Amino acid sequence: MNDGNDDIGVNDRPVFLAELRPHRSLGRRGHLIFFVIAGALSFAHMAVFLLSGAWPIVMFFGVDFLILIAAFWLNNRAARARELVALSRTNISIRKLAPSGREARHDFNPFWARFHVSRRDEIGITDMAVSGQGRRTDIGNFLHLDDRERFATAFAGALARVKRGY
């Protein structure tokens, strides 16, 4: 007996899935090596100024090192941001996960949605967004230029296939 619900599962199966995350060039080991070297250099300079009697300068080196640690901590925290993009025949789902853990979800009908890509000749893609039904959400603002190009090509192709009835 077919009650018509069999097609719902097929239509909701994702045609396109992507997890977008910011690129960070240093891993844990790279951070450790960097901070050991920066700490050793700061300590060496602190010792030189302390021995020469310029003890107030020592405090500035300590504060500079703490600011450096804080800047890297904030940068690594921002790297926890994620965007999950799923495209099925009946829905475009964009989930934005903030570093704080807060989540925002945006759903669009793929037949009414438009994928906007803004480009500059000398730079490449500067902005990507999905809009439809009076709403708009940006996608992948934190991506590197090459990653933006790859995502835009893949997503636009998948959206076009869905609109053609793929």
| pLDDT tens-digit readout, 80-95 | 899 999 999 999 999 9
Q: How far, rounded to the nearest angstrom, does the alpha carbon of residue 17 sit from its chain's CA centroid?
A: 15
Ordered strands of the 82-87 beta sheet: 16-20, 82-87, 92-97, 103-108
Q: What is the pLDDT of residues 66-80, one digit of tens each?
A: 999 999 999 888 888
Count other Cβ atoms within 10 Å, centred on residue 94. Answer: 21
Is the model's pTM score more than 0.85?
no
Residues above pLDDT 90, as percent of the chain: 67
Question: Tens of pLDDT along 58-68?
Answer: 999 989 999 99
| Location of structure tokens 């300079």 | 45
pLDDT digits (tens, 9 = 90+) for 132-157: 989 999 999 999 889 999 999 999 99
**From CA 35, how far away is CA 69, in angstroms rounded?**
8
Instruction: Specify the length of the chain in residues.
Output: 166
- Tell me the DSSP string of 18-51: EEE----S--HHHHHHHHHHHHHHHHHHHHHHHH
Which has the closest alpha carbon to 159: 20, 151, 141, 145? 151
CA–CA distance, 89 with 14 (Å, rounded to integer): 8
Contact 110, 91 (CB under 8 A): yes
pLDDT at 9: 53
